[in-house]
A and B are shown apart, each in its own frame.
Chain A
Amino acid sequence: MKRNSTTSKLIMGGVLLVIAAAPLFAESEYLIHIGTLILLWAFVSTAWAYMARFGLVSLGHGVFLGIGAYIPVLLFNYYGISPWLGMLAGVIAAVIIAAILGYACFRFGLIGDYFALVTLAMAEVVSLAIVACREITGGSLGCTLKASEGWADLQFDDKRYFYYIIFAFLLLALYIWRRIDKSRMRLALTAIEESELAAASMGVSVIRFKMGITLLSAGLTAMGGVLYAQYVTYINPGTISGVGVSLSTCFKAILGGMFNIFGPLAGSAIMVSLEEYFRVSFDTGFLGVSEVIFGIVLLVMIIFLPRGIVGSISKWLNKRFDAARS
């Protein structure tokens, strides 16, 4: 056990060090761009996995991404309000929506598939709402962030800034993950997942803990939306809200392994890289090839490797360690 945890700490430190040093060796802006996207989606799918690893599978995190992306952009474009304040507003709005949605689901005991379906519907609702408010949001044509430069407006010409800013946010998300692991919250949420009735009869406040993790996840996801908008500077309801992005967030976490702290990061690295690879090698000749392949891979993963890639490797390593000791 001891040896395992030291090993995993070393691996963890090594991975983070590589990520931190990577831009120094990257030959092109393009590679830094890919790296930034990986870190961004790692941040979002880590936030998603906060809930999912306790059985709260949301298929609607696009709700929070969309809110987080649109609110700061609109505030900046129309009123010149700094995206930092915009981020605050976006996170608060996302948390309020999550609170309403979460309370409604948890109060009436919607769990598992039913919870997932409600969140899926919500993703579509928010996406349609953005399209419907055409005058303000630009509808399905999307909306471009007014160009600017510097820390106050959170826009930079040099991609390295975003790389490190988003890396810092990812570190925050990983740190919170560790804190949850060490807190009473992990035990309570595991207990709730396994039997709400038993957890409640032990005096665990089921709704409070589920709300807690949901609001945390929603707030961080909204931050991801803000970062996306600031980095890409163009947002569109189809790419940053709605079902598509909601599902691809889950795919990344499931692929890497949502029960492992580095699972969503690994999943994002694989998916973003492959998406780019397919985009470059097939170009427009075979649109949607990546979705087809990911769909098949996901099916295979869920059936044969439910713990994801990182989860399965770490399980296998643990077994090896145990075997070596005895």
Chain B
Amino acid sequence: MLTVDAIDTFYGEFQALEGISLKVEKGQTVIVVGPNGAGKSTLLKTILGLQKPRKGSIRFQGEEITGAPAHKVVERGISMVPEGGRVFPDLSVQDNLRVGSYNPVARPKAQTQMEQIFDLFPILSDRKKQAAGSLSGGERQMLAIARSLMSCPKLIMLDEPSLGLAPLVVNMVFDFIQKMKAEGYAILLVEQNANKALKVADYAYLVESGKLIYEGDRDSFDQNPYIKTAYLGL
């Protein structure tokens, strides 16, 4: 479904990604783990078209999307939940969701999509008129995920969804990711919390300072001695 092939991304002279390749198949949950500053967020931004890769190619559903602007990529069916959720604090919950269905593909379905989302997240339905800035941290992350569903994506990319949340809320977020997986969405999840992320993963990549270090399915990750000590704390 998504094929990233040997991309290099630079910020000015600084190389953030070096020859990264990865694949997400339909309905699969793929995770990318790695320390802070490894280039995980840059990877997602490059896929979405917010950063242009200097080399390599990105294909989604058989079509080339390398260097396409973000709004075109979203139209094709990729959405992203940015780090920290980044809900729009002054807009109401409802308006936040509306912004999610801005692209012309999703716009006609906005109403039905919103109803489905309110079924899925009843808390948001109760607060739909409330400014997003008044929600709790967990609710904001819910809203951020819900908002990304509004664009009718086929692939959802999540950037550190557990960042800064209380352990109980983190569990809630991961329950949600499970739920989305069950609904058939393909998921690309970037996380520092490797323990949690591996539990939902079908396939995993390890990135360190912009390079791919290791890849494998959940079991091979669990058993790799380096990953065990460095990332899983076992």
- Contacts A184-B102, A187-B95 given: A201-B88 contact, CB under 8 Å? no
For A219-244 the 0/1 string (1 means CB < 8 A from B) is: 00000000000000000000000000
Cβ-Cβ contact count across A and B, 8 Å cutoff: 69
Q: Which residues of the other chain, B, contact A184 by a CB distance below 8 angstroms? A: 102
Give the distance in Å from the alpha carbon of A129 to the alpha carbon of B95 in the complex: 45
Which B residues are CB-close (under 8 A) to A191? 88, 91, 99
Which residues of the partner chain B approach A197 to less than 8 Å between Cβ atoms? 50, 82, 86
Q: Chain B contacts of A203 at CB under 8 A?
A: 70-71, 74-75, 79, 102-103, 106, 151
Q: Could you give, for residues 55-90 of chain A, a 1 whenever the CB lies within 8 Å of some chain B CB and a 0 otherwise? A: 000000000000000000000000000000000000
Interface residues of A in 185-204 (CB under 8 A from B): 187-188, 190-191, 194-195, 197-204
| Docked CA distance A202–B81 (Å) | 9
* A4 within 8 A of partner (CB): no
Contact indicator A198/B102 (Cβ below 8 Å): no
Contact A198 B70, beta carbon cutoff 8 Å: no
Say yes or no: A188 contacts B99, CB within 8 Å: yes
B69 at the binding interface (Cβ < 8 Å): yes
**Interface SS majority for chain A:** helix
Does B100 interact with chain A (Cβ within 8 Å)? Answer: yes
Tally of contact residues, B, Cβ under 8 A: 29
Residue of A at shortest CB range from B106? A203
Q: Which residues of B sit under 8 angstroms from A318, Cβ to Cβ?
A: none
- Which of A194, A204, A208: most chain B CB closer than 10 A? A194
B187 at the A/B interface (Cβ < 8 Å)? Answer: no
B50 pairs with A200, CB closer than 8 A: yes
Contacts of B90 in A (CB 8 A): 190, 194
* Set of chain A residues within 8 Å of B91, measured between Cβ atoms: 187, 190-191, 194
Is the CB–CB distance between A200 and B71 below 8 Å? yes
B102 touches A200 (CB 8 A): no
Q: Is B46 an interface residue (CB 8 A)?
A: no
Closest residue of chain B to A186, judged by CB? B95
Nearest 7 A-B pairs (CB), nearest first? A203-B74, A198-B86, A203-B103, A201-B80, A205-B71, A194-B88, A195-B86
- Chain A interface residues (CB < 8 Å from chain B): 184, 187-188, 190-191, 194-195, 197-205, 208
Q: List 26 A-B contacts (CB under 8 A).
A: A187-B91, A187-B95, A191-B88, A194-B88, A194-B89, A195-B88, A197-B86, A198-B88, A198-B144, A199-B88, A200-B50, A200-B70, A200-B71, A201-B70, A201-B74, A201-B148, A202-B74, A202-B102, A203-B75, A203-B103, A203-B151, A204-B71, A204-B99, A205-B69, A205-B71, A208-B71
